[in-house]
Structure 1
Amino acid sequence: MYQRIYQAYQLLSNGDKADLKRCNLKKLADSPAYFRVLKFSRAKDTPQTQRILYLLVGLKMSDDQPGVNVANALLNAGVKEAQIIQITRSGDNGIDYLKRQLVRCENIKLESIGKLAQFWGDNARRNLLKNFILSANDTQTAS
């Protein structure tokens, strides 16, 4: 599903891509470009699809090389633990805070970002914090 949505996004014109970049999550559902993505990908119009597309827009995804999961990508981009805690505690606004941090990241696995967006909620935010801290500890012990 994530791959189809991402490929549909890649088929959009530059104007439609720019329109999606300017949208917040609430305005995304009313954008003509969003409906074009639904048409190309044959995805359903659900909040999960909206969140997936919202997070995919403007990110540097891994295409041919193996990517890293979201927690490792955030860690590699220099995101601080306090910022991840802010994402986990901010409830519904957390996805906006997450996107601000993800824009800094490179080489993110499509499946990792897709699952996070699809199942966004308390448990997903908790798992993001857990994976971030465990990844940070792994890099410290490897040094």
Structure 2
Amino acid sequence: MAKETDFMDLYQAWQRLPNGPKAELKRCGDLGDLLETSAFYRLLAGRGEAEWQKKAYQRMIFCLPCINHTEQKIPLGAALARSRKGSRSAVSESRMIQVVRSEAPNDMVQLRRILKHAEPTVNWPLMAKQLWYWDLNERSKRSLLEDFFLNHTDTSKEG
């Protein structure tokens, strides 16, 4: 498995990209679009030997433009649960369930839409590790949902 330092190296490489290549990655609508951008290959260079590893990095690079990193140990599900748009939660329970139920590659498209909307502040190495295992086992998706529900408070339902 890639190490936390490898994940932070990817994040730092993303941070160093000029605005043009960053915008190019932000405009990608699905994982396939990444394969047609030079910025993707700049970030992928030297990472991932096996095909499944390259796919894991592809998922990470797809999500990178939509998150903010914090050193606090905030997992993705908790960050999404805590994100707000005005007085309401930025992410609905039904949208989170839709991500978990979706099959690849639509699950990543759905997740990225949520990320773009919520703009969560998350611990990047924790999120990257989750994306690393995303297609290898159901635990990554389930832990996303668990973290979301354990941290979710919807003030619109409070009386």
TM-score range, shorter chain: 0.7 to 0.9
- The one of 117, 136, 140 equivalent to 2:131 is 117
- The one of 53, 63, 66 equivalent to 1:58 is 66
SS of residue paired to 1:91: coil
Are 2:111 and 1:98 equivalent residues in the alignment?
yes
5+ long unaligned stretches in structure 2: 1-5, 84-88, 154-159
Partners of 1:55 and 1:113 within 8 A in 2: no
5+ long unaligned stretches in structure 1: 138-143
Paired residue total: 133
**Of Structure 1 and Structure 2, which has the larger fraction of its residues in strand?**
2
Q: Within 5 A, what are the aligned runs for 1:1-143?
A: 1-23=6-28, 24-39=30-45, 42-44=46-48, 46-62=54-70, 65-77=71-83, 78=89, 79-92=91-104, 93-103=106-116, 104-121=118-135, 122-136=138-152
Cα-Cα RMSD? 1.8
CA offset digits 1:30-52 (Å, max 9, x no partner): 3111111133xx31271011011
> Any runs of at least 4 consecutive aligned residues in structure 1 with deviations exceeding 4 A, and if so which?
none
TM-score by length of 1: 0.82
Q: What amino acid maps onto 1:38 in structure 2? A: L
Q: What amino acid maps onto 1:55 in structure 2? A: C
Offset at residue 123 of structure 1 (A): 2.8
Offset at residue 67 of structure 1 (A): 4.9
CA offset digits 1:86-118 (Å, max 9, x no partner): 111111111111111123133211012101211
TM-score by length of 2: 0.75
SS of residue paired to 2:47: coil
CA offset digits 1:66-85 (Å, max 9, x no partner): 25211111111122211111
Counterpart-to-counterpart distance in 2, 1:38 and 1:99? 19
Q: What amino acid maps onto 1:15 in structure 2? A: G
Counterpart-to-counterpart distance in 1, 2:56 and 2:148? 23
